[in-house]
Amino acid sequence: MRVMSLNINGLRAKKDRNVFEFINGEEIDILCLQNTRVKKKPTYDISDFNYKKCLNLNNHEKMAVYYEEGYDVKEEEVIGKKVREYYTGGLIQRLNFGKFTLINIHCPYNPESRYDFKRNKFLKNTLNHVSRIRAEADRIIVCANLQVAHENIDFNGKPNDCEYGCNERDRKVITNFINKGFIDCFRECNTKLEDYTYTFKTENTKNEWRFNYIFISNDFSDVEKDSLKCKIITDKSLSHDKEKELNQYNKAVVIEIEI
């Protein structure tokens, strides 16, 4: 089974850049998108996928999960629509896939107007909530756009430019989350590899952060965990620039695991 997590930064804009061809080329079974900026069900589709949900967050930030036919999926929980402090900045989506539970998380990312909210409210409360789900549900996969580079190896650039995304209190929240029974798939499979999911470069600087994660709970069997593979990939269709220049772009995290 192959799962992809991606902060797509506007699904409509990427549609015209052949992003669907890029995704289909990876033969993904389950696709978790964050920051789709789509208010309603799109009139277009990703071939080989059934449209599941595109949940309202506020006027510009939404999420979506696509999955291959054949899964009996039950949506169990959405946090963000009723709880005001979550609704104004982030969203959590929980779905039951039968053999495992899938959680899709989009964290607030504006470093100026909502940074304190993100650090003190959403990030800590969300990961604590997922840890509580761990007590009642077996085998959890978490796709999360967290806007935090967990360790020094997860940031590449000038130290002064890491004020946002490298806060030690934010990093500690992720460490505590992992210690409660979760595995950071990319770091588990690539102990020393330096790779990133968000890049911003100008004529004089280039900064990169690993902001997007896929975690699995540690109650997957040893055979399943031994089969785990994880990589970070990108394509010109993911550029933020209209000319597809790779000056500012996101990358996708992909895991492969035998379930």
pLDDT of residue 154: 95
What residue type is 255 in one-letter code?
A: I
36: CB partners within 8 A, 6+ apart: 8, 10, 11, 54, 62, 63, 64
According to the model, what pLDDT value does residue 243 have?
54
pLDDT at residue 116, rounded to an integer: 56
With beta carbons less than 8 A apart as the criterion, state whether 101 and 132 touch: no
- pLDDT score for 218: 95
Distance CA 122, CA 116 (A): 9
List, in order, residues 6 or more apart from 243 with CB less than 8 Å away: none
Cβ distance 19 to 31 under 8 Å?
Answer: no
Cα 91 to chain centroid, rounded: 11
Ordered domains of the chain (ranges, CATH): 2-256 (3.60.10.10)
What are the angstrom distances between the C-alpha of 23 and each of 1, 7, 181, 197, 245?
A: 15, 13, 30, 16, 19
Give the burial class of 55: count Cβ atoms within 10 A of its Cβ; 0-12 exposed, 13-18 middle, 19 or more buried: buried
Structure tokens at 5: 């997590």
List, in sequence order, every beta strand (DSSP E) within 8-150: 30-34, 50-56, 62-67, 74-79, 91-96, 101-106, 140-145
pLDDT score of 115: 57
The pTM of the full predicted model, rounded to 2 decimals, is 0.89
Coil, strand, or helix at residue 195? coil
* Local structure of residue 232 (DSSP, 8 states): E
Phi, psi of 26 (to 5 degrees): -90, -5
Tokens of 97: 């896939």
Token reading at 166: 């490298």
pLDDT score, position 39: 64
Block means of pLDDT (10 residues each) for the chain, length 259 residues?
91 69 86 80 53 47 78 75 52 89 82 56 84 90 93 86 77 93 97 92 85 96 96 85 67 95
How much is the pLDDT for 58? 47
Number of Cβ within a 10 Å radius of residue 91: 25
